[in-house]
A and B are shown apart, each in its own frame.
Chain A
Amino acid sequence: MAATATAPGAPTSRLGKAATELDDRLIVAGPVRRTLNKVFPDHWSFLLGEIALYCFIILLLSGTYLTFFFDATMIEVQYDGQYDPLRGTEMSGAYASALDLSFDVRGGLFMRQLHHWAALLFVASIVVHLLRIFFTGAFRRPRESNWLIGVVMLVLSLLMGVTGYSLPDDLLSGTGLRIISAILLSIPVIGTWAHFAIFNGDYVGEQIIGRFYIAHVLIFPAILLALIAVHLLILVKQKHTQFPGPGRTEHNVVGNRLFPTFAGKATGLMLVVFGVCTALAGLVQINPVWLWGPYNPAQVSAASQPDWYIGFLDGSTRIFPAWDINLPGDYTIPALFWPTVVVAGTMFTVLALYPMIERKVTKDTASHHLLQRPRDVPVRTSLGMMGLTFYFWLMVAGGNDVIADKFDISLNAMTWIGRIGVIVLPPIVYTITYRICLGLQQHDREVLEHGIETGVIRRLPHGEFIEVHQPLGPVDEHGHGQLAYGGAPVPKRMNHVGGARRAIRGFFSPIEQPSAVELEQRGEGRGLAAGEASRELTTSGRPSDGGRPSDGGRPQDARD
């Protein structure tokens, strides 16, 4: 970054001179330096949102390539391309151009598959990112606005998915379009008019592909792009949250500078995401439209499913009872209205308003920059797991016919498994999660109080066996640790605190000699192995060794 090289005195190198010339005119050295020195906290889970960002970049690039060849027209043509089993078939121009993209355009099939895989990964990474934000409490004040923007972007990406799914006008996407049309029609009072407005008349008309196309390539991406910019600007302005740990407070940010560490990691991750997407696009077939055939409203195939992110709505529709509400005067609220419009509307409203709801309930209106471990907020964690179970079970129900077919289960049984599970499982998961959270909390407290279990068994003079515990800090007269829980991970094993020799470096395979490391550690005199001879093991994590032997080794009730 030559632009930051503002050494006192005149620069001597050619690069330095050029940079000075540039800075004289644009005055960028200060802001660039500030930006490059901005510190980002470091944790693997903070990279999840970045995956979505890089997927979006792939989507923009591959999508642009596809627009060069895709023709969003519903004019009937007779196919005359490379794919023999469809030659001579009547189809829409959109489907014909999707076939041409797959068989006649150089790199077209790869780009189509890249676009589709990146889209599936895009939504998946948004969901995983959202879960990280939710379970660590990163949405709390002052970040509610960014949470809201995030939920809106999630909904937008679903709409992007739905419109994109419909574009090739094959038998699968047309079936989806028919369902969209039915959902629109099911909305009381405005349904028919909404349908007419979107489809320009009755299903299917001649407009819808063209309209979805503009929505898919222009309107939604533009909004999404703007929201991504706002999302990131707010993130930079508010600074990234960080997990509690040594030296980390509500008022600082501990991490790496944007340049070079963070930039290096981000670039690396971008290349990984590109690599995964292109590998999938090149190796695994997705949405083979030529096998589906052209759309014809008279035809439908078994196992017609939406892409995974709409699967939960398909599932809710499949398991919802056929409860049409017939009102006087020939008015009907179709059963379809509830599992689609109402379920989706409720789910996303609750999701969007969750920060406000939690603020109301907990009366916690303070600003938070330190994250929470999920175990420390058992109610939120359990609620999240409950919602996730509900969502997951609906998604499973969305593929119930495929599951029934592949695992030889009755489809009727699958429907009832869906119905009963969606009601019974979430409370069960809530209870189990809550107990797990409490258990983990208590274990943290126990280790802080009694020390780490060393695995060393000692026999006392009177014959009792105790396990030696390693306190994490100074102990009081009863042998209890005095460290308070700070919201950070508590070391649970001796080698977390350097008890054993340090780990051999290397992620995939060792990049150093284990024996050399051991020698080095011996030399330093650290750890149990080295200090065995000189150290006397006296701490048992029980009321001091002078206490009553009958209490030995048992965890004590917390007294504070």
Chain B
Amino acid sequence: MSTTNPHSDAPTEAVSSPVDRARVRRRSKQRRRVANVAGLMASLVLTGSLYSVFAPAQAADDTTSESAAEAAGRELYERSCITCHGENLEGEPNRGPSLIGVGEAAVYFQVHTGRMPLVRQEADAPDKPTIFSDEEIDQLMAYVQANGGGPTLPSGDLRDGDLAEGGELFRLNCASCHNFVGEGGALSSGKAAPSLKDTSDTELYAAMLTGPENMPVFGDNQLTPDEKRSIINYVQTVKFQADPGGAGVGRIGPVAEGLVVWVVGISVLMFGIFWMGSKA
């Protein structure tokens, strides 16, 4: 549309006559007015549409902005979690905590280790076979993350850390409940720190990040991501390390050893002296 270009015809009009010139001036004033209004309208529309694009999700209409994964997650949530964690993840008194702000990491840990959904309310939630498939867990994670945010799962090699430093940090931060090498231990009133025997790297990381059950949260200010990776490296290395001294008897030290001495050692010796006694 070259004819609408003011520069194409303006010079010809400008050189015609003074009367024309005045008319042109009047016309350009009118034009400016129209342009101003149009610009204002355009910027308003732009701002509005920009706002609608960048605005936080919850401000937008649910039915239109929720992704497929989130929708599937919502469906799972409403089927399996809503009883204790509430309609809007706000939690229910005496049943379950609020999930606002726990993040996908907490969802991953709780659901992937089978702790959630809970079978019944008791001292703590034991791990059990996972109920949801990996895809469903992803959907639940997306839903909870989308509706409250919080810590997210890490990526990359989670064992990328210093082994010896990991051991030192483990003994300092973890051993008081999980035992020297993660065999687990009892806590008060029927609660327990679980054994780390079957725990994956990601679960370890998510547990440190979110502090499930009685575990404290080890945020990135308490243990940096590198330190977390060191701890994971130590736990997983020691776990799969052979026992050079023979049968490990649970790796829990004196209680198991005392049992071995009485049940095996003394029994065998008693048998030995009985045998000798019969040889009189």
Contact = CB atoms under 8 A, between A and B. Distances in A.
Contact of B185 (A308, A405, A410): A405
B265 A121 contact: yes
Given A300-B176, A305-B253, A44 B273 contact: yes
B253 A411 contact: no
Nearest to A90: B168
B264 A280 contact: yes
Contacts of B277: 42-44, 47
A412 B167 CA distance: 30
Interface in A382-425: 399, 401-402, 404-405, 408-414
Interface in B209-268: 234, 237-238, 241, 243-249, 251-258, 260-262, 264-266, 268
A124 B262 contact: yes
Interface stretch (B25-33, B58-66, B85-93, B189-197): B189-197
B266 A128 contact: yes
Q: How large is the interface on A (under 10, 10 to 19, 20 to 34, 35 or more residues)?
A: 35 or more
Interface in A1-53: 42-45, 47-48, 51
B167 A308 contact: no
A39 to B, nearest CB: 13
User: Taking each of B260, B261, B262, which has the highest tally of chain A beta carbons within 10 Å of its own beta carbon?
Assistant: B261
B184 interface: yes
Given A109-B244, A307-B257, A89 B269 contact: no
A405 B172 CA distance: 21
A88 to B, nearest CB: 5
A320 interface: no
A268 interface: yes
B265 A299 contact: no
A291 B278 contact: no
Contact of B247 (A284, A296, A409): A284
Interface residues of B, number: 62
Given A307-B257, A411-B189, A85 B164 contact: yes
B206 interface: no
A374 interface: no
Contacts of B261: 117, 120-121, 124, 308
Given A113-B245, A121-B266, A303-B185, A308 B258 contact: yes
B266 A293 contact: no
User: Taking each of A85, A116, A283, A293, which has the highest tally of chain B beta carbons within 10 Å of its own beta carbon?
Assistant: A85
A51 B271 CA distance: 12
B178 to A, nearest CB: 7
A311 interface: yes
Interface string A297-311: 011111111111001
Given A117-B261, A300-B176, A85 B183 contact: no
B253 A172 contact: yes
A125 B265 CA distance: 10
A285 B244 contact: yes
Contacts of B167: 85-86, 89, 293
B258 A288 contact: no
Contacts of A405: 184-186, 192
A265 interface: yes
B274 A44 contact: yes
Contact of B258 (A120, A128, A292): A120
B180 interface: yes
Contact of A285 (B175, B184, B248, B258): B248
B168 A293 contact: yes
B265 A120 contact: yes
Closest 8 CB pairs of A and B: A302-B185, A308-B258, A44-B277, A285-B245, A410-B190, A404-B186, A301-B175, A120-B261
